[in-house]
A = this chain, B = another copy of it.
């Protein structure tokens, strides 16, 4: 699939897709049938883009996501290293979610207090 199609289906701008690719978050394969200079994306690219969105919402930076990709599908996977990396990131996200949860709770309490004021 060409970038235009990917853009249409994902809602992400072509510039952003190319930006992600430059940074190793997504890959395009050279087309088997065509010999142009157009990027050719596999179907999985869509899921990958969705995954990037999720990672960002979880507080991952592009650099971190790129490291993740390298570790889990790069050549010569170092299992121990990958395992350690994953565990660390899992911990970080859990901590972040804890903090976010506390903030959310506070917002809700604030809203409730406000509502009580409103009558």
Contacts and interface: CB of A to CB of B under 8 A. Distances in A.
Contacts of A58: 99-100, 103-104
A21 interface: no
Nearest to A83: B114
A53 interface: yes
A21 to B, nearest CB: 20
Given A83-B111, A114-B82, A115-B83, A100 B53 contact: no
Q: Is the interface of A mostly helix, strand, loop or mixed?
A: helix
A2 interface: no
Interface in A70-113: 72, 79-80, 82-83, 86-87, 89-90, 93-97, 99-104, 106-108, 110-111
Q: Which one of A51, A53, A86, A103 has the greatest number of beta carbons of chain B within 10 Å?
A: A103
Interface residues of A, number: 37
A97 B111 CA distance: 19
A53 B90 contact: no
A79 B113 CA distance: 11
